[in-house]
Amino acid sequence: MTENNYPDAQIQTAPRFSLIWIIPITAALIAGWLVFKYYNERGTIITITFEKASGIVEKKTSIRYKDIEVGRVKKLSFTSDLKKVKVTAEIFPEMSAYLGEKTRFWVERPRLTFQGVSGLNTLLSGVHIGIDPGEKSAAKEVYEGLSVPPIITADEKGSLIILHSSNLGSLNIGSPVYYHKIHVGEVTGYELNDDSGSVNISIYVHAPYDKKIKSNSRFWNASGMDMNLTASGVSVRIESFMSLLLGGIAFETPLNKVGYALSGKTSFKLYDSYKLANDDTERLEKLFYVMYFDDSLHGLSPGSVIEYGGVRVGKVETILLEKMQNNTQIKTLVKVSLYIDKFSDKKQRAEAETTLQNLVTNGLRAQLTVDSLITGAQYISLNMPKKSLHEQKEKQVYALLPTEIYEPAVFPTTASLTSLLNFDASEITVELNKAISSVTALLNSQDVKKTLKGLATTSESIAKITQQLDKKGFSGELIKTLADAQKTANDLSRLLASTGKNINALQKESSSTLKTLSNVSNKLQKDISVSLRTFNNISNKLQKDASVSMRTFNNVSNKLQKDTSVSLRTFNNVSNKLQQDMRKTLNHINRTTLTLNKGLKSTLNEDSALQYKLQQLINDLGKASNSFSVLADTIQRKPNSVIFGK
């Protein structure tokens, strides 16, 4: 039996790794990379609360900083009490690092205000949420959105100033701040100080104008119109037309006074007008004194001026009533302040005190002076006496030191001059009547009557003696002498009688003159009263004209406001019309999108021809894949089958 020689089988170990595993491994790596990239590029999720969500759309509304998208809205919802809207947003990683506690958000939309027009670009691009990063710090999860865009953002350079005022006036957020009539800042906020009862007003002054503010700067309310009526005429001060409508604040820094640069947050007093701000000075620039007057202080008030030679050198600070030591009398006390720079070229306190002391030693006195006959206003005038001090009978030396505000020295005073309106002719009339009565009483006295009778008797006796001597033949010279004596007695009698008549005539003429003088005085007083009434009428007419002008100005302002309101309504109508047109355009886009979606759905539907062909293609690919799998198995079992076949 023959043996068959069969070839020995070659047993080979199949490879443990198949090339087919490259596909799922690659897919897993790609999926892992996508997951890593998603979490690596994912931003910070925050929540922003707004009063309402006008124009905000989920997954569409963007968050922008300087017109660059830095985030996007993810979801909209309500708070638990349904009072606000919660906007869940994603902040991109490049901006997430800048989120902090002072980060602010607001909805940017078209706005037309007195400050200007903003947000016009949102008419085409749609509303978006604005962001002001603020300082870097720990980020919060929930932020409260602003109802209006902030006036000052974090990238603005300047200084924040706090002003203290008794009332807010017509100021509001956004009111302008002026320096030499240049718009340099805005009012950023205000609040009531519970401790002092005043109003704290926050303003922001932009760089480089904030460097103009020194420690001696003065701020005043520049709202409306500041009108002053003085002896030189009427002066009107208007900071700008915008300040008439919106209110405003102005400030200036005196160049002739020493001021220091600001360091950190600083506060100032806000004066009601430019005049008050210009008149006020620091305590270090004043000398304080106390004055006592015996005259009435009617018409003198805090703020009344003190003049020396027509130059304003100080003002009245306060007026008080001071009790005497026995508590039975009260005297008026006037606290005043005198400016150092008026009495010292070098603005030194010691030099000013020495100058005033020398003036007072030489007789300088304070005196009340009528400033206006109409209003009765008074001011204090510092006057030197007409006679030098060494020529005066009574000499009194005053020591003015010290001059501190809490321990002021007493400044000497003198009585005020008599006013023309206080002139009274009755005193002169009484004195003249007394003099005439004395003369009349003298003429009507018994002594004068006896003297007249004696003169008459003497004259008769001389006549009888002359006749007897003439009969007896005495010399002619003796008779002539007696005749002269008789003539003298007769002349004396006639003179006395004439004097009585003249005295009576003088009395009548004096009475007439006094009556005339009294009538002239009364007429003068009446004329002055008429003049004062006429001046008052003119003043009232001027005030009425000013009131009419102000009403006219208010009407113009109201008309301008109405026109502005109409413009705002027109702008709103145009904006609404544009928004409606945009909505229509968006509706057309949505309809087109729906049509495309329907076409895609109809194309990609399971019953469509495309789906059927795709399914066939997939089946064919599956069959081809199976064939490749069988071919791969065959090649693995019989590698030479590729050459020799099965």
- pLDDT given at position 329: 76
| Residue 305 and residue 199 in contact, taking contact as beta carbons nearer than 8 Å | no
C-alpha distances in Å from residue 499, one per residue of 444, 494, 504: 12, 8, 8
User: At 598, which helix (H) or strand (E)?
Assistant: helix 476-604
Tens digit of pLDDT for each residue in 112-138?
A: 665 666 666 676 777 899 999 888 888
CA distance 469 to 314: 94
Tens digit of pLDDT for each residue in 42-55?
A: 788 899 999 988 88
Tens digit of pLDDT for each residue in 373-401?
A: 667 788 999 998 876 555 555 555 555 65
Is 21's pLDDT higher than 60?
A: yes
Share of the chain above pLDDT 70, in %: 55
C-alpha distances in Å from residue 438, one per residue of 18, 492, 502, 503: 158, 22, 15, 11
Q: Is 285 exposed, middle or buried (0-12, 13-18, 19+ CB in 10 A)?
A: middle
> 144 Cβ partners below 8 Å, 6+ apart?
48, 49
Tens digit of pLDDT for each residue in 255-289?
A: 766 667 777 677 898 988 887 887 765 545 788 89
The values of phi and psi at residue 319, to 5°, are: -125, 125
| pTM of the model as a whole | 0.51
Q: Mean pLDDT score of the chain, rounded to an integer?
A: 75
Residue type, 638: K
User: Please, which pLDDT band fits residue 372 given cuts at 50, 70 and 90?
Assistant: confident
| Residue 268 and residue 202 in contact, taking contact as beta carbons nearer than 8 Å | no
CA distance 449 to 125: 125
- pLDDT given at position 490: 66
- pLDDT given at position 504: 62
Tens digit of pLDDT for each residue in 208-263?
A: 998 889 888 889 988 877 766 655 566 677 777 777 777 899 998 887 666 677 77
Two structure tokens written together for 466: 């002359």
- pLDDT given at position 422: 47
